[in-house]
Amino acid sequence: MLRVDINSDLGESFGCYRIGNDGEILKYVTSANIACGFHAGDPLVMERTVKMAMENGAAVGAHPGFPDLLGFGRREAG
């Protein structure tokens, strides 16, 4: 049987700022890249998103980035 992985970058909320609807998206994807590296997400958002992915049977990967909130992790500090 042919299988296709449906993937999404998730866990991009930060503190009191809610970005996206991870809980709803996780109903439809088979894997999720969780934002880490403090370009998006924070430790609580990361933990919550991984738990939701596990509850929905989605595989989990990392979406790393530089610690660059304004540039969404694309700029190296320094």
Tell me the C-alpha distance between 69 and 1, whole Å.
Answer: 42
- Give this prediction's pTM: 0.83
Helices and strands in the chain: count of H runs, count of E runs:
2, 3
CA atoms within 13 A of residue 26's CA, in its CB half-sphere: 22
- 37-78 pLDDT, tens per residue? 777 888 999 999 999 999 999 999 998 888 877 777 777 776
